[in-house]
Amino acid sequence: MAVPGKESLEMQKIHEARKAIGAALDALVRMNSKANPEVRVAALEALSETAVDIETHVRNAMQDRDELVRTTAVELAGEQRLVNLKQEIVRRFRSDRSWLVRSAAAVALGDLGLPDARTPLLERIERSCEEERVRIYYALVRLGGRKFLKPFLEGLNDPFYRIRCATANLLPALVVKSDRRRIVKLLTDALHGEQTDAARSSLRNALEQIGDDRGGDNLLASS
């Protein structure tokens, strides 16, 4: 019988630890809604003590030698709006050797919602690769540059399927109610003509998130 390797055992331990942490946090959250105020106070204090200094970990991970680790770190910084890491994200966007990291950094700059992030984004448009450029357009729209929505939407018909996927995946966060019907039509038309499974999946997911005519009030608006 094969003996599990060290990495497999470590991955199993991480999986078990994540389950245990999740269960403990769920229990504290439930306690935080109990009628007894002392229980709620104790649960709240315990929850505050479990907070991880995610910012430090993310900052360190941005320097990791592995591009996927750096990419994940930049993505987390944007998703959690770690605005104190803006300069680190800008550095990754401007000079990281990996287009994956630079692309993730562009998205993160848009998701942070800081207007002064427009400057590094605009500086790089002309010398960016296509993978980066679609994310730069996304970020600029997120930061209020609606004129960049048109070139961003052109990515739905790009010859390269990964650009079509990226455009569809990012699009729901850019939709405002006044544009919804037009964008739903663009997505539907793109889906009818799409041949790859990956892009078809991305297009379907975008349509589900944006919703049909009856779901307009549930749209994700750009910030």
57 vs 153: which has the higher pLDDT = 153
> Could you say which of 86, 109, 144 is where a domain stops?
144
- Residues near 187 by beta carbon (within 8 Å), at least 6 away in sequence: 156, 168, 171, 203, 206, 207, 210
In a domain, 88, yes or no: yes
Q: Look at the chain and report how many structural domains it folds into.
A: 2
Confidence check: pLDDT of 46 > 80: no
Tokens found for residue 38? 């002392």
Quote the domain boundaries for residue 174. 145-223
Contact 64, 73 (CB under 8 A): yes
| Model pLDDT for residues 131-178, shown as the tens digit of each residue | 999 999 999 999 999 999 999 999 999 999 999 999 999 999 999 888
- Residues near 72 by beta carbon (within 8 Å), at least 6 away in sequence: 61
Q: Is the dihedral of CA 82, 83, 86, 87 positive or negative?
A: negative
Instruction: Looking at the structure, tell me whether residues 163 and 132 fall in a common domain.
Output: no
Tokens found for residue 174? 């850019």
26 vs 128: which has the higher pLDDT = 128
Contact 164, 158 (CB under 8 A): yes
Instruction: Looking at the structure, tell me whether residues 172 and 134 fall in a common domain.
Output: no
Instruction: Looking at the structure, tell me whether residues 134 and 94 fall in a common domain.
Output: yes
Task: Give the CATH number, domain containing residue 194.
Answer: 1.25.10
pTM metric for this prediction = 0.77
Which of helix, strand or coil describes residue 73?
helix
Spatial separation of the C-alpha atoms in residues 108 and 102, rounded to whole Å: 10
Mean pLDDT of the chain: 87
Task: Give the CATH number, domain containing residue 75.
Answer: 1.25.10.10
Contact 99, 131 (CB under 8 A): yes
